Structure 1
């Protein structure tokens, strides 16, 4: 069950009321696998008592700024080195895996060993089509699922990042550092994969999310940003140039 939150806006002041952020998929291929981001909420918790944590304004404020992106796949992956010492991923589910072995390499990538942050912690990446856009200053911070309990914790840590989605809309990547390679990496479809926190220039303004249209203007703008990470070391240095060529409006809520 999902719920929606609406906020009042002063139509004479575009900077009042909520900051609207749009989400969309950069590709329609297999789009049915990818659920809409959901606002983080303490569901099925005790709200009857006035002092319940579920009714604490600080908790409500915090949760209102986080959105959950769920895992689209069931995966059970192991890590090993082949007879030449090269690191490789292993599909531990074998024939019982919902994901065909031939497709696994298209979902998960083992980052080149020389690019690992730590020599004993392999880095695994999952490319995702989730993308966010806003028409005013809005920063996205991608981080781990700190409010989700797993009986079998992940054998490592998720590392994300922070960037302005209003001038740098890009598909998100799930990145994982594998601390204990003797333990499998298990992901379950429908479980939280990571959180997105949104913040604008004014910290007290709430966030409202809508599904966005992938308009020709948005596609053209993103094409100009596409792949630049392969050619420069510091993509943040390009923000000013990106802002200079950005159309005045890129967020168009999707009609139902």
Structure 2
């Protein structure tokens, strides 16, 4: 361990002791998808492949940068896909698979994986919102908020033609499957997704800011299945789903986390 890493560890230990809270929070992950589970790869801790630092003051050795990076987990893209928008004779937008007959996905697969949101749900009338299924479920038995963000620590040679929407919610109360929402700004350019590339990040906020998260594969227990059934798709029936958190806490089993193995 480098001197900088050791310093960061010592600071974290002191903060944890002063707060009387643990320094490690365990979060379970699982996938809840009816078919084709094999396309969804495990989230991985973010890591860099930088050359050996030439100076003791190099960025690679900065404790703040190291601590920031290590709090991100990378969820890889499940498919190879090139999407594009076209306008028909009446000016209506149509989403197409730009790979045509060479596409790796069949129409049924595309229908199962994503949809264009209705225009009245867009944030801007000229920016379609595309929503992908991202059936990752994250579970924790102590207060923990999950934060979903674009893969901004990775550099892509080709910029995507819009922006991924972020999200944040309490995964100890509301462990619903994630979604990947994309707001399309430049309709003249395609959206290219490559299997295995960073798709999005997740990070976690805990009661102890210095605590680190240990991510483990979660067993999809009957208790977790039942609880998920009670909170999934509630937005189809009510607005302001955050108002349901108190009721969710009331019906939540005391323990949901159960690592596989």
Under a length normalisation based on structure 2, what TM-score does the superposition of the two structures give?
0.89
Structure 2 distance, partners of 1:231, 1:209, is 32
CA deviations 1:154-193 (Å, max 9, x no partner) are 0000112100000101111000010000000101111001
3-state SS of the aligned residue for 2:148?
strand
Structure 1 distance, partners of 2:20, 2:178, is 28
In structure 1, stretches of 5+ residues that fail to align are: 1-6
CA deviations 1:111-156 (Å, max 9, x no partner) are 1111101111010010121110000010011111111111110000
- The match for 1:55 is 61
CA deviations 1:5-62 (Å, max 9, x no partner) are xx99x9xx99413011110001362121111101111224434642221221111111
Q: Contact conserved, 2:23 with 2:210, CA < 8 A, in 1? A: no
Q: How far did residue 229 of structure 1 move?
A: 0.7
**Superposition pairs for residues 100-179 of structure 1, below 5 Å?**
100-179=106-185
99-108 vs 145-154, which deviates more? Answer: 99-108
Q: Contact conserved, 1:144 with 1:159, CA < 8 A, in 2? A: yes
- Runs in 1 of length 4+ with deviation above 4 angstroms? none
- The match for 1:237 is 243
- The match for 1:182 is 188
Structure 2 distance, partners of 1:32, 1:49, is 43
3-state SS of the aligned residue for 2:33?
coil
Under a length normalisation based on structure 1, what TM-score does the superposition of the two structures give?
0.91
233-242 vs 45-54, which deviates more? Answer: 45-54
How many matched pairs? 246
Distance 1:224 1:102, change over 3 A: closer
RMSD over aligned Cα, in angstroms? 2.0
Distance 1:31 1:197, change over 3 A: same
The correspondence for 2:23, drawn from 17, 21, 33, is 17
The correspondence for 2:104, drawn from 74, 86, 98, is 98
- The match for 1:253 is 259
Distance 1:172 1:105, change over 3 A: same
Structure 2 distance, partners of 1:226, 1:28, is 14
